[in-house]
Each structure stands twice: as structure tokens, then as C-alpha cells.
């Protein structure tokens, strides 16, 4: 069964601190992996996309890494801000057309002042 797991389930950090969220997957084949940010009560918004040949992709204070050998991805948030409080969802896409995909359950991040 294709699965995408994320850890931790929830995380609380203080403003200004860094944090790393994990995404492990067992799906195969693999085309690319996306991280989405979902603010409470809103729809998810794409942060990064990584193909199997990419190891690192940055988007401002967000840096995603991918290890296709161990089937692990991480999302690192630097110098967190209150607006980073959200759920972060990992999605693995199985084909180049994006027609087959598996969503992870998400990690709920709370940044406190």
C-alpha cells in the first residue's frame, strides 16, 4: 500500500527558532514531491516541489530536502515567524502527469511569541 507519513504530528516552537518537519514515503514509482502550507480554515498552498534528481530546494525561509534512496524528505523552517503557524502537508506524486498522488496527514506547527 502506498503511504506517506509525516512527523511530528504537531509541534510548538518559539518565534525566531528553527524547526524541521519530516516526511517518509513508501510509494513507488516516484515522480516528484511537494510541500504545501495550509493556514487554518484555508486551502493549502504549494511551497516547494522536488523531483527525484533534486536534493534541496529553497523558498525564502523554507528549505526542503529529498533523499530518494531512503525515501525521506524534510522541510526546514528558519527563523520562524508567527505567520508560519499552519499545517504542512507532504504530497508524493507518482507520475509525470500528476494524476496519481498520495497526501500525507500533515504536521501542525504552532509558533508562539
Sites of contact with other proteins (CB under 8 A): 31-32, 34, 41-46, 49, 51, 89, 91, 93, 96-99, 101, 103-106, 108
d(CA 21, CA 29): 23
Specify the residue, 77 or 91, whose C-beta has the smaller distance to other proteins. Answer: 91
Burial class (CB in 10 A: 0-12, 13-18, 19+), 41: exposed
The residue written with cell numbers 524541521 in the block is 20
Instruction: Give the three cell numbers for residue 58.
Output: 529553497
Specify the residue, 76 or 108, whose C-beta has the smaller distance to other proteins. Answer: 108
Please report how close the Cβ of residue 99 comes to other proteins at its closest, in angstroms: 7
Please report how close the Cβ of residue 31 comes to other proteins at its closest, in angstroms: 7
Amino acid at each position: 500500500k502506498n503511504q506517506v507519513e509525516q512527523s511530528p504530528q504537531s509541534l510548538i516552537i518559539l518565534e525566531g527558532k528553527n524547526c524541521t518537519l519530516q516526511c517518509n514515503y513508501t510509494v513507488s514509482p516516484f515522480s516528484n514531491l511537494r510541500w504545501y502550507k495550509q493556514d487554518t480554515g484555508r486551502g493549502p498552498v504549494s511551497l516547494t516541489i522536488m523531483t527525484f534528481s533534486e536534493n534541496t530546494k529553497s523558498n525564502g525561509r523554507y528549505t526542503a530536502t529529498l533523499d530518494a534512496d531512503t525515501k525521506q524528505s524534510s522541510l526546514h523552517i528558519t527563523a520562524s515567524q508567527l505567520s508560519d503557524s499552519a499545517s504542512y502537508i507532504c504530497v508524493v506524486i507518482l507520475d509525470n502527469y500528476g494524476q496519481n498522488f498520495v497526501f500525507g496527514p500533515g504536521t501542525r506547527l504552532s509558533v508562539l511569541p
